[in-house]
Structure 1
Amino acid sequence: MSRLRFGYVTAPLLGALWMVVLAITVAVVMSFSTGAPFRPVILLSLMWGAVIGFGLLTPRVPSLVVAALVGAGLAVAGLAGVAPVATGEGVGLVAAGLAHVVLGAIFGYSMLVILDGLPTGSATRHEFEEAVIRFLTGFGYIFFTAIVAIPFYVMVMTSLKNQAELMANPLDFSIDLSQGWGLFRSYVELFQDFNFGSYLWTSFYVSVLTVLLTLAFSIPGAYAVARLRFKGRAAFSRSILLIYMVPMIVLALPIYIAFSMAGLRNTIFGILLIYPVTTIPVALYMLQGYFRGLPAEIEEAGLMDGLSRLAVIWKITLPLSLPALASVSLYVFMIAWNEFLLAFMLLDDPSKFTLTRGIASLNSSEIPRQHLMAGAVIATVPIMVIFLGLERFMTKGLTAGSVKG
C-alpha cells in the first residue's frame, strides 16, 4: 500500500474541525445550563484546533496531563478574550473559566484518541482513514446525542418552572434549586387536578394487553411460516410487512367510520382491537426470523418422543426463544405506550384517555405550558427506564436469529 504524507495535514485539519464541534457543544450546554450567553467563535476555534491538533500529533506526555494542559491553556486564552467560546454580559469569570477548562480538557483527550496511530510524516491510506473514521464517530455521537438530549432537557426544565418564570424569560432553561420540592408543583397538580394517575394506568394495562394479544397471534403465525410447509407460505412470508407501506393517516378515516358504526369508538375494547393490528405484522416478522435460526433437530426429537406440535412449541421452542420474545414484547409495549393517532381519533371520554391522549388535552391556551411539559416527561421517563433496563434483551433477541444455529 502506498504511503502518503497525511500526518502533518490531517492533524491540524481534524483538530480545527473537532474544535468547532466541541466549541458549539460547550457553548450550547453552558447556555442551557446557566441561562447565560455563550457563543462559539468559529475562526478562533479553527485556529486553536489546528494549532493544538498539530502539537498533539506526537505527544510525549500522558493523555490526562495533555487534557489538563490544554484546558488550562484555553482558560488563559479565555481571560485574554481569544478563546473558541465567547461569553456575553453577566457571565462570571468562574463560569467562563469552567467552560474553557472543560472544552480544552475534552479536546486534548479526544484528539489523542482521534490521532492515535497516525504518524507525523508518511502514513498509509488505512491509517488516514482510521483517523477520519474516529473523528466522524465522535461527531456522530455528539450530533445525535444533542438531537435527543436538548429537547428532553428543555422539556424537563420547562416542567420545573412556574408561570411567572416562563413569562419573564421563556428562553432561560436554568432552574432555581432553592425552591426545593416546589420545583415539582406541576407534576403534583397533574395528578391532583388532571387525572393523570388514571391515564397512566390505562396506558399501562392497554400496552400489556396489546403485548399479550400480539404474542398470542404472532407466535403461532411466525412458527407456521418458519417451520410448516403450506401453499402460499413464501408469499405470506414476504408480504407480512406490507401493511406498513400504507400510512396510518390514510387508514384513519375508514377506521373512524367503521368503529363509529360498530359502536366501538370511545371504548377501550375498540383500542385493544386496533392496536394489535399495527403490532402483529412486525412481531411476526421478528419472530419468524428467530424461529428459523433455531435447530429444527431439537423439535424433531420432541415429535419423535411423542409430543404434539403444540407441546413442542410450548416446551421446546418458546423456552429457547425467550430473548426474542422479550425483545418483541418490549418493542410492542413501546409502540402501544407511545401510540397517539388512533387514541386521539377514537377516544373522547376523559375517563378512558390513554397517556398520550391525556397529554394532548393539555395543549390548550387555558393550561400553563409547564403542565404540558410535565405530562410529556411522565410519558417519556417510564418507557425510557424500561428500555434502558431491558435493552440487552432486545439487542440479543434482534440479533440471535440472524445466524442459523
Structure 2
Amino acid sequence: MKLLRNGFVTGPIIGALWLFILATTVSVVMSFATGNAYRPTLFFSLILGGALSMGAIMPLARAPIVGVVMAVGLAIIGLVGGQVGAPIVTNQGAGLQAVVNGLLGFIFGYSTAMIFAGIPRGSLTRHEMEEAWIRFLTGFGYIFFTAIVLIPFYVMVMTSLKSQSALLQNPLDFSIELDKGWALFRSYHELFRDFNFGTYMWTSFYVSVLTVIITLAFSIPGAYAVARLQFRGRAAFSRSILLIYMVPMIVLALPIYIAFSITGLRNTIIGIVLIYPVTTIPVALYMLQGYFRGLPAEVEEAGLMDGLNRLQVIWKITLPLALPALASVSLYVFMIAWNEFLLAFMLLDDPSIFTLTRGVAMLNSSEIPREHLMAGAVIATIPVMVLFLGLEKFMTKGLTAGSVKG
C-alpha cells in the first residue's frame, strides 16, 4: 500500500493496464467492424503503457494535447514497426496499422490525462491514490458494461443483414456488406411477406395494451386500499403481494395448460389476455402502493371535506398526482407482456394468432436461415427499446417516487 502511494509507481501500473484495456477494446471493435482478426500485443501494450505513464507525467499537459502527441507517436510506431512494435496486430499493412495506432494513441493520451488530472507526481495521500484508481476502474466499468450490452445486439443486427452464403463462408464475419444496398434488408422483407410478422407485431401490441389496461384497473384500487384504508389483514396482504414470484412460472405451466385446455381458453387470444395480468398485477400493486403512501394524505382529506366521495378523490386528486408512477407501471407492464414467451409458447399453437415472441421461436428451425431468426429478434427488440428510451424519464421518476417519505 505504501509503495502504491508513490505517484512514480501508481502511474505506470495504471497506464500499463489502461493501454492494454484500450488495445483490447480497439481490437474487438476493429474485428467486428472489418471481419478481420485483430488482437492486442500483451507484452508491448503493458510496457508501452507503463513507460508513457512513468511518473504520472500526464497532469503536466492538457488532455487534448497529450492525446494528439500520443496519436502521432503510436502512428509512427505502427508505420515503421508494422506488426512487430505495435500494440495492435493486423494483417492490413503499415498504413492501416498507423491509423489504428493513431486512434488508439489519442484515446489513450486523452483518457490517461483525465485519469491523472490533479494527481501529483511524488508521494500520494491515500485519497489521491484512491482517486486515481477509482477513475481507472470507472473507465474500465464503462467499457466492460458497454461491451456486454452492445456486442450481442451488434452480432444480432449484423447477422440479420448477412446472406446465407456469407454466413456459411465465415460465420464470424460481422462486417457490413454495403455494396448490396437495400438487399441488406432482404431478411426483414421476407419475414413480413412470407412469415406474417406484421400480424404478429399487431397481436403483441394489442395484447400488451389490454394487459396494461387490465393491470391498472385492478392494481390502482388495490394499491390505494393498501396505502390508505384500514381493514383486517391489511398488513398481511401488503407483505404477501409478491409471493407469487416465489413460485417459478415453469412450475405453474402444467396446471395452467390443463385448466385452459379444459375451459377451451387454450389457443385463444382471450386466454392470453386473461393470464398475462396474473404475472403483472402483483408487481404493479407493489409499485403503486409505495407511491400512494408517499402522497400527502392531507390533500385527499381536503377533498373529502369538500364533499367528494372516495372514488372522486381517487379520480380527481390521487391519479393526477400519481401520473409519473402510472406511466412507469404502464411501461413496465407493457414490456413484460411484449417480451413474454413461456405462456405464449405453451398456450398458442395456431400461427394466425401468434404473438411476436412466439413467431420468433417458430424461426428457430434448421429449415429456416439463421439470418431470418436474427431479423425476427431485432424486430421484437427495437419497438420496446424505442419505447423505453422515449419514456425513460417517466420510468425512472416513477420507480424512485414514494421511496422517501417527507
**Does TM-score exceed 0.5, indicating one fold?**
yes
1:82 paired residue among 74, 81, 85? 85
Could you tell me how far apart the structure 1 residues matched to 2:50 and 2:4 are? 20
Q: Which residue of 2 aligns with 1:17?
A: 17
Deviation digits for residues 55-97 of structure 1, max 9, x if unmatched?
A: 653433321111111122122222313222111x3x2444322
| Residue 375 of structure 1: how far off its partner (Å) | 0.5
Q: Check if 1:293 corresponds to 2:294.
A: yes
Name the amino acid aligned to 2:54: F
5+ unaligned residues in a row in structure 2: which ranges?
Answer: none
Name the amino acid aligned to 1:47: I
| Residue 389 of structure 1: how far off its partner (Å) | 0.8
Deviation digits for residues 10-47 of structure 1, max 9, x if unmatched?
A: 22111111112111111010000011110011111211
Tell whether the 8 Å contact from 1:64 to 1:109 is kept in structure 2 after alignment: yes
Tell whether the 8 Å contact from 2:78 to 2:94 is kept in structure 1 after alignment: no
Q: Which residue of 2 aligns with 1:122?
A: 123
Could you tell me how far apart the structure 2 residues matched to 1:97 and 1:280 are? 58
Task: Report the 3-state secondary structure (helix = DSSP H, G, I; strand = E; otherwise coil) of the residue aligned with 1:123.
Answer: coil
TM-score, normalisation: structure 2: 0.95
Tell whether the 8 Å contact from 2:58 to 2:117 is kept in structure 1 after alignment: no
Name the amino acid aligned to 2:367: E
Name the amino acid aligned to 2:350: D
After TM superposition, list the pairs within 5 Å mapping 1:48-67 onto structure 2. Answer: 48-54=48-54, 56-67=56-67
Q: Which residue of 2 aligns with 1:349?
A: 350
Deviation digits for residues 250-279 of structure 1, max 9, x if unmatched?
A: 111111111111111111111111111111
| Residue 117 of structure 1: how far off its partner (Å) | 2.3
Q: Which residue of 2 aligns with 1:257?
A: 258
Name the amino acid aligned to 1:29: V
Could you tell me how far apart the structure 1 residues matched to 2:58 and 2:171 are? 47
| Residue 132 of structure 1: how far off its partner (Å) | 1.5
After TM superposition, list the pairs within 5 Å mapping 1:1-400 onto structure 2. Answer: 5-54=5-54, 56-79=56-79, 80=81, 81-87=84-90, 89=91, 91-400=92-401
Could you tell me how far apart the structure 2 residues matched to 1:150 and 1:245 are? 32
Tell whether the 8 Å contact from 1:4 to 1:122 is kept in structure 2 after alignment: no
Deviation digits for residues 266-324 of structure 1, max 9, x if unmatched?
A: 11111111111111111111111111111111111111111111111111111111111
Tell whether the 8 Å contact from 2:12 to 2:54 is kept in structure 1 after alignment: yes
Tell whether the 8 Å contact from 1:291 to 1:321 is kept in structure 2 after alignment: yes
Tell whether the 8 Å contact from 2:28 to 2:38 is kept in structure 1 after alignment: yes
Name the amino acid aligned to 1:161: K
Could you tell me how far apart the structure 2 residues matched to 1:104 and 1:367 are? 45
Tell whether the 8 Å contact from 1:156 to 1:377 is kept in structure 2 after alignment: yes
Would the alpha carbon gap of residues 94 and 304 (structure 1) be closer, same or farther in structure 2, given more than 3 Å must change?
A: farther
Could you tell me how far apart the structure 2 residues matched to 1:195 and 1:42 are? 50
Task: Report the 3-state secondary structure (helix = DSSP H, G, I; strand = E; otherwise coil) of the residue aligned with 2:136.
Answer: helix
Choose 360-369 or 227-236, whichever is displaced more: 227-236
Name the amino acid aligned to 1:26: V
Could you tell me how far apart the structure 1 residues matched to 2:313 and 2:134 are? 48
5+ unaligned residues in a row in structure 1: which ranges?
Answer: none
Name the amino acid aligned to 1:167: L
| Residue 134 of structure 1: how far off its partner (Å) | 1.7
Would the alpha carbon gap of residues 159 and 68 (structure 1) be closer, same or farther in structure 2, given more than 3 Å must change?
A: same
Task: Report the 3-state secondary structure (helix = DSSP H, G, I; strand = E; otherwise coil) of the residue aligned with 1:82.
Answer: coil
Could you tell me how far apart the structure 2 residues matched to 1:339 and 1:350 are? 17
Tell whether the 8 Å contact from 2:197 to 2:356 is kept in structure 1 after alignment: yes
Name the amino acid aligned to 2:103: V
Aligned residue pairs, count: 402
Task: Report the 3-state secondary structure (helix = DSSP H, G, I; strand = E; otherwise coil) of the residue aligned with 2:214.
Answer: helix
Query: RMSD value over aligned CA atoms?
Result: 1.6
Could you tell me how far apart the structure 1 residues matched to 2:257 and 2:136 are? 50
TM-score, normalisation: structure 1: 0.96
Name the amino acid aligned to 1:30: M
Name the amino acid aligned to 1:43: F
Could you tell me how far apart the structure 1 residues matched to 2:352 and 2:58 are? 67
Could you tell me how far apart the structure 2 residues matched to 1:38 and 1:14 are? 24
| Residue 133 of structure 1: how far off its partner (Å) | 1.6
Task: Report the 3-state secondary structure (helix = DSSP H, G, I; strand = E; otherwise coil) of the residue aligned with 1:59.
Answer: helix
